[in-house]
């Protein structure tokens, strides 16, 4: 397919902000998309491979600038100048391609196959001369690109397509194109996307226009799958009303989700964002080999940190670095040990378990896992219909430093990627405080250019004492609530000192935050840290006189212990 056709589609999609319009445009395109052009499905989301595949384009702005300069014959300095004035590298490429000085205009017609071929070579390059090889691959494409092609090529390269298409837009467009927008079809398509995480594979099947065909896409061990998510219950009464009696009540561990695949001897670990983290957790691979029976399986679990000496469980923040860190793994493994708590099974010895009731799945886990505390265990669980006993269990979970409990319907199936009403979380009520911002950190990625993590302080006589950091509750886009952009603009004039990404801020902006718990902490000057803080509002109506004091926080700390720690 000509790349120009795709670029024109991008343009058309971009021309409207209305979701239904976008779906109409995209569904028409999908109707006429040929089987052999199936990989264009990845390009629609700015990717080159299915979502489960970790290979990404990963081109820096710097390299894109160099390539624009090479392809158009315009000096690097000039390209940078244009970038500063237009603020968008895609537009720079478009403009400069239009004014192209070189006579190489349109060497050959650019196709989506050629674009994918070159882009797919990028993540494979390693070692010496990589940058130049990458540059050559991109420049080859840009040299043959027309202005509109150059615009979208560059946007794809830097991972900023800006056409307002999400996975859900594609799902609805598939449903409209091949099933007249039938709601049931949309649901089934989404289910297949969640299982396979491969839009082209789903396209292959939906194109036939038969819903039954969707069943043919099933789980594959080794290919990451989206986790099932929970809704909230107000309390046990509410939970039992929604789920029926009895149901399973389990510890809601305060760690991170780990989905474990085993296929013969091969073991792979994925996070809930489908990221492969096997290398970071060699000990977990060992536990699976040793303590879980079965040739092939997919287990759903929560990894929780604990203190090697006291055996006390630690909050997630203290072990979060284990997920990202790719070096000194052995040392980290010793310092920050984790325990795997298995709470579900999705696949076992050649058979999907998705449609089995939870009671059967949970029984299967208990059969195949040899419990080894502080290594791997089945999540702590009771099957119960009695509110009082459920509450006792909940208190025990909190006492052991966990977040609360999960209530699960015993008959329910496993629905990958869905926030289901048959799995409910119960956590302590949230409480609020008014605090002042005294520091911040510049963000990265999508939040680049904004302050994105804010240090909060309470008051102690004339001093301000730090009590935690908050980044949650602030929006990236304007609409409801305060945005990073607005907050950054308010704070920049108040910066007193900068050190790398960190800035110190004159205490002035008062904010309301809610949190779940206060913990003692040596990391902050107040001696306390907020657990799960979330920003709720700016309080321009409040002054520094009104913010909470250290004494009040100490009082809250004591009260909370009485309230739900030891009840």
- Among candidate residues 252, 314, 408, 469, the one labeled active-site is 252
Q: What's the min distance (Å) between Cβ of 386 and ligand AMP? A: 19
Q: What's the min distance (Å) between Cβ of 225 and ligand AMP? A: 13
Is 424 one of the binding residues for ligand AMP (CB under 6 A)?
Answer: no
Looking at residue 479, what DSSP letter applies? S
* Rounded distance between C-alpha atoms, residue 203 and residue 285, angstroms: 35
Is 322 one of the binding residues for ligand AMP (CB under 6 A)?
Answer: no
Q: How far is CA 59 from CA 132, 155, 160, 368, 476, in A?
A: 12, 10, 11, 45, 23
φ and ψ of 295, to 5 deg:
-75, -45
**Are 153 and 80 spatial neighbours (Cβ–Cβ below 8 Å)?**
no
- At residue 455, the 3 state secondary structure works out as strand
Is 531 one of the binding residues for ligand AMP (CB under 6 A)?
Answer: no
**Contacting ligand AMP within 351-370 (CB under 6 A):** none
**Are 390 and 249 spatial neighbours (Cβ–Cβ below 8 Å)?**
yes
SS3 readout for 257-288 = EEEEEEECCEEEEECCCCCECHHHCHHHHHHH
* Rounded distance between C-alpha atoms, residue 279 and residue 91, angstroms: 40
Question: Residue 83 or 343: which CB sits closer to ligand AMP?
Answer: 343
* Rounded distance between C-alpha atoms, residue 333 and residue 391, angstroms: 34
Catalytic annotation on 237? Answer: no
Question: Residue 251 or 454: which CB sits closer to ligand AMP?
Answer: 251
The piece of 108-116, 143-151, 250-258, 353-361 that touches ligand AMP (CB under 6 A) is 250-258
Question: Residue 111 or 278: which CB sits closer to ligand AMP?
Answer: 278
* Rounded distance between C-alpha atoms, residue 326 and residue 519, angstroms: 29
Is 250 one of the binding residues for ligand AMP (CB under 6 A)?
Answer: yes
Residue among 253, 306, 316, 528 that touches ligand AMP (CB under 6 A): 253
Is 379 one of the binding residues for ligand AMP (CB under 6 A)?
Answer: yes
**Are 526 and 547 spatial neighbours (Cβ–Cβ below 8 Å)?**
no
Q: What's the min distance (Å) between Cβ of 301 and ligand AMP? A: 8
Is 257 one of the binding residues for ligand AMP (CB under 6 A)?
Answer: yes
Helix (H), strand (E) at residue 517 = strand 517-520
Based on the number of CB atoms within 10 Å of its own CB, is 429 exposed (0-12), middle (13-18) or buried (19 or more)? exposed
The piece of 22-30, 132-140, 216-224, 226-234 that touches ligand AMP (CB under 6 A) is 226-234
Question: Residue 411 or 555: which CB sits closer to ligand AMP?
Answer: 411
Question: Residue 229 or 285: which CB sits closer to ligand AMP?
Answer: 229
- At residue 429, the 3 state secondary structure works out as coil
Residue among 343, 347, 358, 484 that touches ligand AMP (CB under 6 A): 343
Q: How far is CA 84 from CA 41, 81, 90, in A?
A: 32, 5, 12
Residue number with the shortest CB distance to ligand AMP? 257
**Are 228 and 198 spatial neighbours (Cβ–Cβ below 8 Å)?**
no
Looking at residue 114, what DSSP letter applies? H
Is 230 one of the binding residues for ligand AMP (CB under 6 A)?
Answer: yes
Residue among 406, 456, 470, 553 that touches ligand AMP (CB under 6 A): 406
Q: What's the min distance (Å) between Cβ of 406 and ligand AMP? A: 4
Q: What's the min distance (Å) between Cβ of 227 and ligand AMP? A: 6
Is 425 one of the binding residues for ligand AMP (CB under 6 A)?
Answer: yes
Question: Residue 405 or 550: which CB sits closer to ligand AMP?
Answer: 405
**Are 255 and 277 spatial neighbours (Cβ–Cβ below 8 Å)?**
no
Question: Residue 425 or 475: which CB sits closer to ligand AMP?
Answer: 425
Q: Is the peptide bond before 76 cis (omega within 30 degrees of 0)?
A: no
**Contacting ligand AMP within 260-319 (CB under 6 A):** 272, 302
Q: In the complex, which residues of this chain contact ligand AMP (CB under 6 A)?
A: 227, 229-230, 250-253, 257, 272, 302, 343, 379, 406, 425
By annotation, the residues acting in catalysis are 252
């Amino acid at each position: 397919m000509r790349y120009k056709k795709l670029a024109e589609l991008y343009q058309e999609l971009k021309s409207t902000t209305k979701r239904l319009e976008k779906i109409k445009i995209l569904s028409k395109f999908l109707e006429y998309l040929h089987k052999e052009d199936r990989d264009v499905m990845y390009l629609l989301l700015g990717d080159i491979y299915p979502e489960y595949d970790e290979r990404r384009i990963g081109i820096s702005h710097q390299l894109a600038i160099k390539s624009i300069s090479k392809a158009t014959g315009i000096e690097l300095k000039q390209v940078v100048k244009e970038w500063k004035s237009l603020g968008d590298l895609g537009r720079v490429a478009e403009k400069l391609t239009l004014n192209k000085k070189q006579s190489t205009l349109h060497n050959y017609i650019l196709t989506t196959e050629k674009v994918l071929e070159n882009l797919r070579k990028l993540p494979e390059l390693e070692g010496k001369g990589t940058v130049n090889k990458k540059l050559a691959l991109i420049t080859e494409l840009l040299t043959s690109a027309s202005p509109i092609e150059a615009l979208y090529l560059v946007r794809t390269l830097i991972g900023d397509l800006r056409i307002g298409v999400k996975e859900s837009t594609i799902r609805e467009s598939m449903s409209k194109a091949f099933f007249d927008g039938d709601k049931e079809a949309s649901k089934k398509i989404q289910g297949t996307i969640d299982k396979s995480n491969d839009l082209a594979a789903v396209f292959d099947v939906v194109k036939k226009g038969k819903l039954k065909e969707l069943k043919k896409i099933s789980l594959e061990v080794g290919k990451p799958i989206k986790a099932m998510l929970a809704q909230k219950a107000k309390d046990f009464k509410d939970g039992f009303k929604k789920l029926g009696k009895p149901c399973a009540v389990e510890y809601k561990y305060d760690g991170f989700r780990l989905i474990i695949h085993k296929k013969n001897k091969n073991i792979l670990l994925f996070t809930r964002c489908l990221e492969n983290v096997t290398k970071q957790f060699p000990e977990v691979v060992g536990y699976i080999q040793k303590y879980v029976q079965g040739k092939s399986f997919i287990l759903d679990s929560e990894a929780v940190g604990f203190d090697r000496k006291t055996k006390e469980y630690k909050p997630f923040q203290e072990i979060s670095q284990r997920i990202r860190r790719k070096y000194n793994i052995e040392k980290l493994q010793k310092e920050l040990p984790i325990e795997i708590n298995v709470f579900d099974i999705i696949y076992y010895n050649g058979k999907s378990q998705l449609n089995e009731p939870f009671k059967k799945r949970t029984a299967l886990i208990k059969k195949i896992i040899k419990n080894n505390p502080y290594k791997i265990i089945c999540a702590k669980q009771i099957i119960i219909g009695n509110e009082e006993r459920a509450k006792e269990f909940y208190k025990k979970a909190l006492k052991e430093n966990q977040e609360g409990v999960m209530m699960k319907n015993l008959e329910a199936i496993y629905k990958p990627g869905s926030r289901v009403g048959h799995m409910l979380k119960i956590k302590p009520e949230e409480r609020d405080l008014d605090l002042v911002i005294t520091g911040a950190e510049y963000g990265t990625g999508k939040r680049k250019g904004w302050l994105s993590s804010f240090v909060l302080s309470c008051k102690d006589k004339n001093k301000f004492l730090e009590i935690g950091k908050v980044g949650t509750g602030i929006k990236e886009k304007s609409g409801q609530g305060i945005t990073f952009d607005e907050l950054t603009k308010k704070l920049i004039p108040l910066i007193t000192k900068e050190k790398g990404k960190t800035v110190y801020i004159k205490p002035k902006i008062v904010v309301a935050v809610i949190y779940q718990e206060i913990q003692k902490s040596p990391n902050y000057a107040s001696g306390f840290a907020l657990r799960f803080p979330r920003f709720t509002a700016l309080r321009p109506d409040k002054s520094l006189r009104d913010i909470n004091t250290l004494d009040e926080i100490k009082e809250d700390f004591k009260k909370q212990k009485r309230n739900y720690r030891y009840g």
